[in-house]
């Protein structure tokens, strides 16, 4: 969940690392620091601070004299797990002698036992982190070979890690390794850039090598070598990154989140481009790598995901059951991994993760594969661990999503799920005519998304009225139920308003006790099945003086008597309605958060890629 940047080359490592850390700010963090080798003194200069990278830059101006080009270094942004978010607990961590410096993502589960042993051997600790243990272990194992020392230290570790290590004794190399926490290596000329996320690398190169679990990298400016934990050389192919630095700039928008909300028509178009087959009434997703015969044998689908992806999965359940006639179950990925799940023959497990690195979802994938399931994935990040380990899956092609709160990713996830359901349905018993209707609607989806965005000014006006409330409810039925859950999540993520999503029928089974004039209700009352009953729920709320916002289909003005305010979306079929509604909810949440002065792109306590449990 933290950010790592390492550099070795002929340029100024400090400049490269700080720039890279800025690119990783979106992942969420509470402190930052870096270590640089100083060729004038032969020492490691380490500066770190709590707070934002801007504060680190101020510290660097005061603590590191200008004029010295430092050719190697490592940097880190920390999201606190062990120990408070302060300067002492910030990374990098130094060994006792100061000869070695490490940055670490992940959790060392046996750190307490290792720390006790190191204390007994005379080592002292300055932080409350689990990571400092690793710096001391490397020093304890050092015999003149840095790679061998890191390998020996890691053999004692239980848990997850993505690490970079430098030493003043080897000022020409960086050691990196991963186990459950991503590490990417940029293939450049006369320099090597290492990071936990490719967004810190793309300004230097479009060719990236992703480390697998157990890999240990030794990098110099001119060369890289990857070894297994058994010291066996490994060849890893480079991946070509198909997006550029412009895609991770704000492009004139106030926030990345707003930019990414507005990118949804083009993102959806990219997700469907070349994949819709109107004549055959189906879709083509080559990444699935499943023959028609294999698809026809699937008689159960199990979807695993977390967070926003979980709500996309719930919509996927409706899609697979409605259009493919395949019983589908959705499980929270952490629940799946710990419940000893039942995987029956002909079960297909589908993992959904924007980053492709979500720890619980990755663990669920591995458990499903151990149990012999066919496993597919839906990811956005090219070369991510889940995408590589499943080997069968579909990329969203949404482009980088920098805002912590997911926007365009969920729209594209639902779009891909619709195409998957179409493929499965056509292989089972969905008619060609119905398939063609679905394909036609999908081809119109970017225009429908744009029509929602055209309502931005009206949605902003609604946000102006409700920004001061501290609680809210979202309700919906059928396809609108997961959309209600996602709307509540967006509002709480970025505005810090306590928001709850409920099935509309559940409102009277307890939650209605909380409704009053201080708790607005957002009702998803589109012109789709269940609308009349949802309108009844809106009336129940208004009878208790609850302010009601209806998200409704344009042109259906009869909804006005059931609500105080209306957000209109275009007429669309039931299976595409969640995307239109979710875009409207995103805009509503964004403008409420903006009026409340919240830090929208980096909400407190949150991280973009959740790589720890």
Structural domain boundaries enclosing 185: 3-241
Tell me the C-alpha distance between 375 and 366, whole Å.
9
Indicate which CATH number applies to the domain containing 495.
Answer: 3.40.50.10490
For the stretch 479-509, pLDDT in tens is: 999 999 999 999 999 999 999 999 988 888 8
Please check whether residues 269 and 207 belong to one and the same domain. Answer: no
Helices and strands: H and E segment counts in the chain: 18, 27
Residue 86 lies in a domain: yes
Residue 304 lies in a domain: yes
Residue 417 lies in a domain: yes
Pairwise pLDDT comparison (447 vs 337), residue with the higher score: 447
Please check whether residues 86 and 191 belong to one and the same domain. Answer: yes
Average pLDDT for the chain: 91
Percent of the chain with pLDDT over 70: 97
Q: Is pLDDT of 397 > 60? A: yes
Q: Which of 2, 306, 572, 580 is catalytic?
A: 2
Please check whether residues 336 and 467 belong to one and the same domain. Answer: no
Percent of the chain with pLDDT over 90: 69
Average confidence (pLDDT) over 579-601: 96
Tell me the C-alpha distance between 571 and 554, whole Å.
7
Please check whether residues 191 and 265 belong to one and the same domain. Answer: no
For the stretch 2-12, pLDDT in tens is: 789 999 998 89
Domain boundary among 181, 208, 241: 241
Q: How confident is the model at residue 382 (pLDDT cuts 50, 70, 90)?
A: confident
Please check whether residues 329 and 272 belong to one and the same domain. Answer: yes
pLDDT of residue 67: 64
pLDDT of residue 610: 61
Residue 67 lies in a domain: yes
Please check whether residues 577 and 500 belong to one and the same domain. Answer: yes
Please check whether residues 316 and 395 belong to one and the same domain. Answer: yes
pLDDT of residue 375: 95
Residue 609 lies in a domain: no
pLDDT of residue 341: 82
For the stretch 325-348, pLDDT in tens is: 999 999 999 998 788 788 888 999
Average confidence (pLDDT) over 394-407: 90
Please check whether residues 373 and 485 belong to one and the same domain. Answer: no
pLDDT of residue 214: 92
Average confidence (pLDDT) over 80-85: 75
pLDDT of residue 506: 86
Tell me the C-alpha distance between 453 and 585, whole Å.
11
Q: Is pLDDT of 413 > 60? A: yes
Tell me the C-alpha distance between 417 and 368, whole Å.
20
Residue 329 lies in a domain: yes
Q: How confident is the model at residue 244 (pLDDT cuts 50, 70, 90)?
A: low
Q: Is 608 a catalytic residue?
A: yes
Q: Is pLDDT of 441 > 80? A: yes
- CB burial class (10 A; 0-12, 13-18, 19+) of residue 509? exposed
pLDDT of residue 609: 56
Q: How confident is the model at residue 246 (pLDDT cuts 50, 70, 90)?
A: low
Burial 465-489 (b: 16+ CB within 10 A, else e): ebbebeebbbbbbbbbbbbbbbbbb
Tell me the C-alpha distance between 190 and 178, whole Å.
24
- The mean-pLDDT minimum among 72-86, 377-391, 399-413, 512-526 falls in 72-86
Indicate which CATH number applies to the domain containing 161.
Answer: 3.60.20.10
Domain boundary among 398, 423, 450: 450
Pairwise pLDDT comparison (523 vs 513), residue with the higher score: 523
Pairwise pLDDT comparison (461 vs 609), residue with the higher score: 461
Pairwise pLDDT comparison (38 vs 529), residue with the higher score: 38
Please check whether residues 203 and 315 belong to one and the same domain. Answer: no
Domain boundary among 241, 257, 290: 241
Check if the beta carbon of residue 224 is closer than 8 Å to that of residue 172.
Answer: no
Residue 601 lies in a domain: no
pLDDT of residue 613: 55
Q: What is the sign, positive or negative, of the torsion defined by CA atoms of 336, 337, 339, 343?
A: positive
Quote the number of domains for the chain: 3
Residue 228 lies in a domain: yes
Please check whether residues 510 and 544 belong to one and the same domain. Answer: yes
Q: Is pLDDT of 1 > 60? A: no
For the stretch 539-589, pLDDT in tens is: 888 878 899 999 999 988 788 888 999 999 999 999 999 999 999 999 999
Phi and psi for 433 in degrees, rounded to 5?
-60, -45
Q: Is pLDDT of 245 > 70? A: no
Q: Which of 48, 317, 490, 608 is catalytic?
A: 608
Tell me the C-alpha distance between 169 and 207, whole Å.
30
Q: Is 2 a catalytic residue?
A: yes
Please check whether residues 378 and 235 belong to one and the same domain. Answer: no
Please check whether residues 329 and 267 belong to one and the same domain. Answer: yes
Tell me the C-alpha distance between 570 and 127, whole Å.
55
pLDDT of residue 591: 98
Q: How confident is the model at residue 517 (pLDDT cuts 50, 70, 90)?
A: confident
Q: Is pLDDT of 58 > 60? A: yes
Sheet holding 347-353, edge to edge: 328-332, 300-305, 347-353, 374-379, 393-395
Average confidence (pLDDT) over 601-608: 75
């Amino acid at each position: 969940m933290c950010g790592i940047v390492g550099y070795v080359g002929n340029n100024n490592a400090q400049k490269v690392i700080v720039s890279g850390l800025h690119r990783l700010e979106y992942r969420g963090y509470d402190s930052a620091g870096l270590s640089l080798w100083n060729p004038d003194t032969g020492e490691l200069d380490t500066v770190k601070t709590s707070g934002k990278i801007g504060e680190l830059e101020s510290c660097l101006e005061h603590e590191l004299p200008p004029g010295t080009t430092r050719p190697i270094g490592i940097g880190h942004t920390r999201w606190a797990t062990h120990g408070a978010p302060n300067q002492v607990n910030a990374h990098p961590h130094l060994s006792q002698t100061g000869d070695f410096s490490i940055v670490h993502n992940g959790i060392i589960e046996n750190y307490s036992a290792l720390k006790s042993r190191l204390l007994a051997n005379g080592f002292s600790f300055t932080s409350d982190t689990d990571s400092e243990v690793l710096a001391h272990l490397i020093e304890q194992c050092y015999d003149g070979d840095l790679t061998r020392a890191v390998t020996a230290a890691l053999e004692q570790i239980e848990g997850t890690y993505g690490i970079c290590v430098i030493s003043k004794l080897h000022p020409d190399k960086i050691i990196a390794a991963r186990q459950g926490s991503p590490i990417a290596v940029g293939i450049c000329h006369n320099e090597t850039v290492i990071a936990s996320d490719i967004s810190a690398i793309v300004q230097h190169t479009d060719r990236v090598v992703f480390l697998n679990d157990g890999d240990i990298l030794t990098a110099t400016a001119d060369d890289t070598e990857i070894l297994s934990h058994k010291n066996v050389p490994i060849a890893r192919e480079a991946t070509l990154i198909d997006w550029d630095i412009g895609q991770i700039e704000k492009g004139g928008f106030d926030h990345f989140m707003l930019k990414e909300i507005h990118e949804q028509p083009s993102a959806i178009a990219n997700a469907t481009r070349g994949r819709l087959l109107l004549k055959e009434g189906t879709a083509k997703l080559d990444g699935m790598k499943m023959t028609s015969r294999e698809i026809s044998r699937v008689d159960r689908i199990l979807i695993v995901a977390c967070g926003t992806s979980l709500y996309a999965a719930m919509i996927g359940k409706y899609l697979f059951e409605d259009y493919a006639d395949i019983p589908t179950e959705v499980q929270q990925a952490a629940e799946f991994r710990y419940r000893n799940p039942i995987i029956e023959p002909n079960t297909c497990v589908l993992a959904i993760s924007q980053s492709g690195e979500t720890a619980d979802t990755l663990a669920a994938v591995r458990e499903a594969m151990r149990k012999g399931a066919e496993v597919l994935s839906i990811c956005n990040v090219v070369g991510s661990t889940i995408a590589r380990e499943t080997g069968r899956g579909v990329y969203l092609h949404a482009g980088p999503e920098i805002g912590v709160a997911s926007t365009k990713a969920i729209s594209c996830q639902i779009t891909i799920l619709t195409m998957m359901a179409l493929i499965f349905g056509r292989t089972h018993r969905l008619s060609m005519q119905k398939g063609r209707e679905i394909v036609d609607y999908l081809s119109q989806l970017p225009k429908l998304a744009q029509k929602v965005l055209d309502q931005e000014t009206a949605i902003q006006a609604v946000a102006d009225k409700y920004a001061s409330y501290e609680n809210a409810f979202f309700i919906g039925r059928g396809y609108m139920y997961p959309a209600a859950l996602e709307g509540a999540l967006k509002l709480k993520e970025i505005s810090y308003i306590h928001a709850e999503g409920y099935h509309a029928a559940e409102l009277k089974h307890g939650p209605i006790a909380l409704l009053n004039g201080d708790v607005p209700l957002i009702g998803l009352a589109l012109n789709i099945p269940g609308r009349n009953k949802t309108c009844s729920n809106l009336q129940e709320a208004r009878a208790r003086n609850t302010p009601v916002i209806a998200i409704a289909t344009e042109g259906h003005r009869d909804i006005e008597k059931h609500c105080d305010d209306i957000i209109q979306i275009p007429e669309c079929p039931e299976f595409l309605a969640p995307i239109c509604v979710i875009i409207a909810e995103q805009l509503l949440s964004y403008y409420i958060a903006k009026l409340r002065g919240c830090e929208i792109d980096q909400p407190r306590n949150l991280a973009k890629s959740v790589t720890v449990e």
